[in-house]
Structure 1
């Protein structure tokens, strides 16, 4: 028996309001603020959340006196809920009748030097499905908020409950001020940087101290929240960064030098999407990108 029919027989019908309630609570952090945002009473919102959790058979939030925190199941469900809600709203939007864009999110560097080729060839082969590239300074590049149908993520997957596939691998690069003495070299090793300050993008970056051995880690860390601030700090010689070849391709920056890191493991570039996908063309996009990128990829051939 289909799921919707079983729910109706049980007197339980899941509706878009359940998804809206869940998303509002997840974003606001409290029932009180979420209820005010949705303009409904707190008891009604609490009952809606309880019905959703009862239907799913899991707790979506850990409750405390003043704040609600998403459980692991809640984090996974948030991606599905946002994708479903966004797709439903798009379906009913009269301004979006016609070609159905496929939104590809990224936090930085997109597909490196493959970016323009992928966008151009996709447009030629799929004129009825425009491919929109969207940058979001977020660890999931907008997937959790339903802003993108598929996203490009580098490194290991940060959450469960999403589908992903490795497209290719990129070599790690050191990024540092052109005035730094190390910039005169042709390549660097991780230990060469241990005495320097590490400039780390803590919002969407992939670099952590785990790259170094405990005995040779950088002694100082300067945190930034986006790629633009990261590049500015590098150019000002406030420290060094670690990135991939894609950043060197996409972000040439006055006063910043990129050098290969000889002993750093490669970074997998993944395409990730909600399960089920919010756009039917997502699997085709994964195969399309892999076909274009792999023949010219010369980075190491194993994941981190």
Structure 2
């Protein structure tokens, strides 16, 4: 069997009382039950902690060393579970990851409302060019993700889908159009972020697809389009709201399918304020609760 906090408390009670009978009385349990708990702990560790006889009880050298560690462990758990001290660790910043664009034009509203409601608890936006925006490796507590991403051990809330736009060089003939279709981009090179991009060749018919040019980051993607070498891009509309870039124009795409957007967090959450973040993101974006 495995040992738990109950076994540590039992051992410490015996060590402090100097007798199993007195320790059992303090813990309000029977002496046989306490003896079994001590035996379970020793069996789990594979070492004798207490020398006991009818008239004598003493800690072994291993028991003396283990007592120090057990006391620190129990003190740490008691401090963590002390409601009076919860405010200390609740001030740890809540980290919201995103690969790019966060919540688009609704990002400022989210930050303003969070600051007004939780002035002592910072909400930090963390931009990471990874497929899970830092969620899978623990760098953030929740993440805004676009497209289809599966991460074991997480839960997700569906946010409103985003329309797609074309990113084209300023001064290009396409930039003067009120809207474009995917067919208008055939014959051009489409730049795609190989890690976090939501654009794939499958957006176009198999017999009429543009050339794909891979880039490593959002910044590389913007520079490739702005350079005037004929490259264009396809991206969720949030990009056009938060990534204005010299030399890049955004034009609506009339026939491109929307991009699914998710708020994803670990289950259980790594921060106690994640449930409120989920609620607020749903309110700000107009997503259904639940």
Residue 59 of structure 2 aligns with which residue?
Answer: none
Equivalent-residue separation in structure 2 for 1:271 and 1:3 (angstroms): 37
2:226 aligned with 1:235 = yes
Q: Which of 141, 144, 151 matches 1:152?
A: 144
**Secondary structure of the equivalent of 1:237?**
coil
Using the alignment, how far apart are the partners of 1:221 and 1:250 within structure 2?
Answer: 24
The alignment partner of 1:214 has SS state of coil
Over residues 10-60 of structure 1, what are the superposed CA-to-partner deviations in whole Å (9 max), with x where a residue is unaligned? 9779xxxxxxxxxxxxxxxxxxxxxxxxxxxxxxxxxxxxxxxxxxxxxxx
Q: Distance in 2 between matches of 1:2 and 1:100?
A: 32
Give the 5 Å matches for 1:221-300: 221-238=212-229, 239-294=231-286
Task: State the alpha-carbon separation in 2 of the partners of residues 162 and 12 from structure 1.
Answer: 32
Change (3 A) 1:119 1:157: same
Cα deviation per residue 1:233-288 (whole Å; 9 max; x = unaligned)? 00012311111111101011111110111111111221111111101221221121
SS at match of 1:216: coil
Show CA shifts across 1:58-92 (max 9, x none). Answer: xxxxxxxxxxxxxxxxxxxxxxxxxxxxxx9xx8x
Closer/same/farther in 2, CA of residues 206 and 158 from structure 1, 3 Å limit: farther
Distance 2:247 2:174 in 1: 13
The root-mean-square deviation of aligned C-alpha atoms, in Å, is 2.9
2:108 alignment counterpart: 116
* 1:146-186: CA deviation from partner (whole Å, max 9, x where unpaired): 11000010112243432111122211011011132211111
Structure showing greater Rg: 2
Contact kept, 8 Å, 2:90 with 2:272, in 1: the verdict is no
Distance 1:280 1:2 in 2: 28
Is the contact between residue 191 and residue 212 of structure 2 (CA under 8 Å) also seen in structure 1? Answer: yes
5+ residue gaps in structure 1? Answer: 14-87, 296-300
Residue equivalent to 1:142: 134
Aligned equivalent of 1:176: 168
Corresponding residue for residue 128 of structure 1: 120
| 1:192 paired residue among 184, 191, 206 | 184
Q: Distance in 1 between matches of 2:228 and 2:44?
A: 61
Inter-partner Cα distance in structure 1 for 2:218 and 2:237: 14
Residues 5 and 190 of structure 1: CA distance in aligned 2, closer, same or farther (over 3 Å): same
> Structure 2 CA distance, aligned partners of 1:123 and 1:232?
34
Contact kept, 8 Å, 1:168 with 1:290, in 2: the verdict is no
Task: Give 2:197's match in structure 1, choosing from 200, 205, 218.
Answer: 205
TM-aligned CA deviation for residue 144 of structure 1: 1.5
TM-score (norm 2): 0.67
Are the aligned partners of 1:235 and 1:255 in contact in 2 as well (CA < 8 Å)?
yes
